[in-house]
Amino acid sequence: MGDVSILKKGRKIVIDNQPWEVTDFDFCKPGKGQALYRCKLKNMMTGATMDRTFRSSDRIEQANMEECDCVYSYKSGDQYVFNDNDTYDEIFIKEQVLAGRHVYLNENDTCKILFFNQEPLEVTIPFFAELCVTETEPGVRGDTATNVTKAATLNNGIEVQVPLFVNQGDFIRVDTRTGQYVERSKKA
């Protein structure tokens, strides 16, 4: 257990055995009284948010978080296997930890895994993925008055809106955080 003075924006602490991140922080010290540490917190597992005010006499537990750099290797059943860059250990990550972004993973992608008490909590995958358009309507030249985008299916099965000039077989860049088209890829 530590002193409340470690509290600041971005700090990760444990409340009821769960990791919470301090998203906003205000140090208050009214008059001759004791200091108050007013925090907005976000549960790193559930996404729930709450406000909590700590006093200088409170004890708080800093979350035991570790981050490792790794590389995506392969899929094994419903788990995704990563290789730790330092130890070369294999780390098995369940699909739900990837929160839907498993569709963007390519072999050898550089990723970061955040652990809480040695359990994988969050995986940060590359922000952009290069994907191939497997199916889309041909763009009709001059049709910009009515539509500026059209639907396209990508090689990983997801559907995105793309500009009309994108054709089947083209490679495009997608933002993995939003699922949106970014630009045509340089890859042939």
Report how far residue 107's alpha carbon sits from residue 73's, in angstroms, rounded to the nearest whole number.
Answer: 5
- The footprint of other proteins on residues 11-50 (CB under 8 A) is 25-36, 38
Report how far residue 71's alpha carbon sits from residue 25's, in angstroms, rounded to the nearest whole number.
Answer: 35
Report how far residue 116's alpha carbon sits from residue 122's, in angstroms, rounded to the nearest whole number.
Answer: 9
- In whole angstroms, how close is the CB of 56 to other proteins at the nearest point? 7
Q: Count Cβ neighbours within 10 Å for each residue of 103-129 and write b for 16 or more, e otherwise.
A: ebbeeebebebbebeeebbbbebeeeb
Closer residue to other proteins, CB minimum distance, 31 or 142: 31
Q: How many residues bind other proteins (CB under 8 A)?
A: 18
Closer residue to other proteins, CB minimum distance, 30 or 47: 30
Closer residue to other proteins, CB minimum distance, 32 or 186: 32
- In whole angstroms, how close is the CB of 40 to other proteins at the nearest point? 13
For other proteins, the binding residue among 23, 53, 87, 117 (CB under 8 A) is: 53
Strand runs (DSSP E) across the chain, as ranges? 2-3, 12-15, 18-28, 36-43, 49-55, 59-62, 65-76, 79-84, 90-94, 110-116, 119-124, 128-136, 149-154, 159-163, 171-175, 180-184
Confirm or reject binding of residue 10 to other proteins (CB under 8 A): no
- In whole angstroms, how close is the CB of 65 to other proteins at the nearest point? 23
Closer residue to other proteins, CB minimum distance, 4 or 63: 4
- In whole angstroms, how close is the CB of 166 to other proteins at the nearest point? 46
Residue type (1 letter), 139: G
- In whole angstroms, how close is the CB of 10 to other proteins at the nearest point? 15
Which residues of this protein are in contact with other proteins, per CB under 8 A? Answer: 5, 25-36, 38, 53, 55-57
